[in-house]
Structure 1
Amino acid sequence: MSVLRERESTGVGPVELFFDLVYVFAITQLSHFLLHHHDLAGALEFAVLFAAVWWGWNYTAWAANWVDPNHRSVQAFTAVWMFASLGMAVAIPEAYGDRAWLFVASYLFLQLSRGGFMVWAWRGQVMSRNYFQLTTWSAIAGIAWAAGLFVPDEARVWVWLAAVFLDYVGPRVSFWLPGLGGTPMSTWPLSEDHLAERNRLVFIVALGESIVILGATLTGIAFTGGTIAAAVLGFATIVALWSLYFDARLGNAEHERVEVENATQVSRSAYAYAHALMVAGAVVIAVGVELVLAHPWHTADAATIATVLGGPAVYLVGNLMFNRAISGRLAVSRLVALACLAVLALIGLVLPVLVLAALALAVLLLLSLAGSGWFRLPSASVE
């Protein structure tokens, strides 16, 4: 019995949902890391860790397009990859310190073992060559990840930033290797609707972290007018983000299948890259919810402004990239919203945190109303 899927099979298997459970914990760890490293340096460190966690999940989601989720060997290896992902998540709080080795070892094991499995699964076919080149790029990036273990803690983020660059640039250059060339997108047969569903599910996981933070924070603080207002605003922000993400016109709602010949190229841009920003935005919004709850009437400082407004902004940039990949158009409404958030950032230092969060929510609500048909801004074609 082959470990590969039947071509017409595109459903998400139970083992894929099981795999995502560890990313519930990983997203919690990432949001807490950002909350406890709430400055520019911490934001960079968070971005590097998030990029690695996302790439591990993303490559596994892509591999699941081609393997049978009901095959025993696929289920066994998925459990192994899940354990490696757990190792990454456990290491996150001390990833730039005593547990850097655990983060790197878990990440590299996840990437290289999965790549090796896919080379074997596709043996004798073009996709085996493709995965060999992908895994080689993961190994090259792995040298930089490992090198980061041997530099001072304060310099580690810069070495790992180079490793992230290598990981993310690989698909953009078709995993080109000397003497072998690249792997043309046409040689990666893909079902775009499977990836669309996988990304919907992981985005829900990211929104779930906002709910957990909101509920956990409320259980430990006194109820005042400010905290109640902050809780309402936080919950409304989560709902607005959910509404925007599943918007039928500009969100990742179910849509017509992308043409087979374009499916891989579209999916690479829409899911591997654009969704990285969309999910990251949801995680940052979760941190913003906690900051507003903690000090609703404090005047916003630069770090708080960057978090409360940065989460929606990062999401909207990702959403722009997503729509450009899917439809070839730029949503003017998202550009207008980003401009509004930029204006809020300029005046944020004189506003209470609660007011700043309310204005950010207003921007998201206006976008949601636009998507529901109350009014619309045009989209611009992109050549």
Structure 2
Amino acid sequence: MTSSSAGSAPHSASSAGSSADRGPLRRLTARVREEEHRVASPLELFFDLCFVVAIAQAGVQLVHAVAADHAGEGILNYAMVFFAIWWAWMNFTWFASAYDNDDVLYRVVTLVQIAGVLVLAAGVSQAFEDHDFLVVWIGYVIMRVAMAAQWLRAARAAGGAERTMALRYAVGVLLCQIGWLGLLVLPEPARPWVFLVMVPAEMYVPVYAERAHATTWHPHHIAERYGLFTIIVLGETIAAATVAVKSGVEENDALGELLPIAAGGLLTVFSAWWIYFVVPIHGRLSSTRQGFLWGYGHYVIFASAAAIGAGLEVAVEQAVGKAHISTLAASAAVTLPTALYLLAVWALHARYFKVGIAQQAVLPTTALAVIACTFLGDWAVLAAGIVAALAVATGVTLTARMVAGEERAGAVPR
């Protein structure tokens, strides 16, 4: 997205309303799905950047847990915290695509949600280290109550089935917050079960609400929003890995040991970006069912993309002797989330644009090859990066050959 589009007005003429409806407070009515020139607003971009702060905190704690040889516990805590961040982000994103009117109250409530994720970020370390979820819970409640307020406002302006849908969203969101109290009042061994019960409950709320009426989210806008967040998460991955390499070089004079990790990590992230954006996915988001599957599946994409950065930090700490784990474990911290990312991107949208077995097999085969790189010792991360880059080159070559073949076939007289 260009800078000009980021600063453009968030509404087209078809959805801005009448001149009497353009004051500081406006009715929160649904936007038009066919609206032209629908792009992410500056508020949405700011929202994303603030949410990445919480993702960065979750990544830092994952690094500490894995480096201390507590990978199982760290991954569980990471999955729980990341769900809270991602779910709040996703709910806002789809709501904004359908109802963003950019008035004063909408902006203020959105800023409250941003404040909530910053509170959540402040409690991440306590959740990981002491299993104390109080601050995380408070931050999550702030975000979700603010989201319920937006839905109640939409219900007030709507009627019929749309009003029913908005009320279902609001009530469902608020009821789920009661369930999350289990993280505070139940014994520690029971808390993972709270997570396993409440995640499906949260994810069922949109499914139930939209049985009454489908929100008018904009496919191109949704695809752009997810793409922008993917870019920001990958950028955070590069930033975290760069800081780790810099510290390792300055504190341990280990440039030779860290160069393969740095090069492999850079190739991996570059390839992750290329693979995600190689196809225009918005054309496939033509129904609510497709939207649900695609949107929910991005939990794996976002979580694994952020975990790649954490894995690179673990690999650096192991290389300089700070991590109490084996080279194999440190390599797996990079290769496993990379493979998961590749498979998730393939499953969610890349496979729909592949023609023939050769194209379809590129990403799944690459994921398996990346996992195999885990056993290459000190060269595992570099090898994984090279494999990912080769997957990009292979995909580009196969596509070019297919296009050339189609052009030759079209040039043959019939």
Query: TM-score under structure 1 normalisation?
Result: 0.83
1:191 and 2:226 are equivalent in the alignment: no
Q: Aligned equivalents of 2:401 and 2:203: distance in 1?
A: 33
Percent of aligned pairs with the same amino acid:
22
Give 1:308's aligned residue: 334
Counterpart amino acid of 2:305?
Answer: A
* 1:269–1:321 Cα contact (<8 Å) kept: no
Q: Aligned equivalents of 2:106 and 2:397: distance in 1?
A: 44
Query: For residues 218-265 of structure 1, what are the alpha-carbon distances to aligned partners after superposition, in whole Å with 9 as ceiling and x for unaligned?
Result: 3322242111222222222211111111113xxxxx456347xx3322
Q: 2:230 aligns with which of 203, 219, 223?
A: 203
Counterpart amino acid of 2:118?
Answer: L
1:245 and 2:276 are equivalent in the alignment: yes
* 2:304–2:338 Cα contact (<8 Å) kept: yes
Give 1:178's aligned residue: none
1:4 and 2:29 are equivalent in the alignment: yes
Counterpart amino acid of 1:373?
Answer: T
Quote the offset at 1:204 in angstroms: 1.1
Counterpart amino acid of 1:88?
Answer: L
Query: For residues 316-350 of structure 1, what are the alpha-carbon distances to aligned partners after superposition, in whole Å with 9 as ceiling and x for unaligned?
Result: 232133127966999332222233244445xx2xx
Counterpart amino acid of 1:28?
Answer: A
Q: Which runs of 5+ in 2 are unaligned?
A: 1-20, 22-26, 403-414
Quote the offset at 1:103 in angstroms: 1.1
1:331 and 2:360 are equivalent in the alignment: yes
Q: 1:28 aligns with which of 56, 66, 70?
A: 56
Quote the offset at 1:110 in angstroms: 1.4
Q: 1:74 aligns with which of 106, 110, 113?
A: 106
Q: How does 1:1-383 map to 2 (within 5 A)?
A: 1=21, 2-4=27-29, 6-7=31-32, 8=35, 10-38=38-66, 39-95=71-127, 97=130, 99-123=132-156, 124-125=158-159, 126-171=161-206, 174-175=207-208, 183-184=210-211, 187-221=214-248, 222-248=253-279, 254-255=280-281, 257-258=283-284, 262-270=286-294, 272-296=295-319, 300-301=326-327, 303-323=329-349, 331-345=360-374, 348=375, 351-352=376-377, 354-374=378-398
Q: Aligned equivalents of 2:96 and 2:214: distance in 1?
A: 17
C-alpha spacing 1:305/1:211, structure 2 compared with 1 (3 Å): closer
* 1:192–1:264 Cα contact (<8 Å) kept: no
Q: Which runs of 5+ in 1 are unaligned?
A: 176-181, 249-253, 379-383
C-alpha spacing 1:20/1:311, structure 2 compared with 1 (3 Å): same
* 1:247–1:371 Cα contact (<8 Å) kept: no
Quote the offset at 1:6 in angstroms: 4.0
C-alpha spacing 1:105/1:168, structure 2 compared with 1 (3 Å): same
Query: For residues 263-318 of structure 1, what are the alpha-carbon distances to aligned partners after superposition, in whole Å with 9 as ceiling and x for unaligned?
Result: 32222211x22221111111111012112222348894564344212211221232
Q: Aligned equivalents of 2:101 and 2:188: distance in 1?
A: 40
Q: Aligned equivalents of 2:210 and 2:98: distance in 1?
A: 17
Q: Aligned equivalents of 1:63 and 1:134: distance in 2?
A: 10
Counterpart amino acid of 2:28?
Answer: V
Q: Aligned equivalents of 1:17 and 1:224: distance in 2?
A: 36
The structure that has the greater radius of gyration is 2
How many matched pairs?
A: 357
Query: For residues 76-104 of structure 1, what are the alpha-carbon distances to aligned partners after superposition, in whole Å with 9 as ceiling and x for unaligned?
Result: 11111110111111111112537511211
Q: Aligned equivalents of 2:218 and 2:187: distance in 1?
A: 44
Q: Aligned equivalents of 2:274 and 2:351: distance in 1?
A: 20
Counterpart amino acid of 2:55?
Answer: I
* 2:58–2:78 Cα contact (<8 Å) kept: yes
Q: Aligned equivalents of 2:262 and 2:299: distance in 1?
A: 27
Query: TM-score under structure 2 normalisation?
Result: 0.78
More helix by share: 2
Counterpart amino acid of 2:29?
Answer: L
Q: Aligned equivalents of 1:215 and 1:341: distance in 2?
A: 22
Q: Aligned equivalents of 1:273 and 1:328: distance in 2?
A: 22
* 2:342–2:367 Cα contact (<8 Å) kept: yes
Q: Aligned equivalents of 1:118 and 1:325: distance in 2?
A: 35
Q: Aligned equivalents of 2:384 and 2:85: distance in 1?
A: 28
Which secondary structure state, in structure 2, belongs to the residue aligned with residue 132 of structure 1?
A: helix
Counterpart amino acid of 1:100?
Answer: F
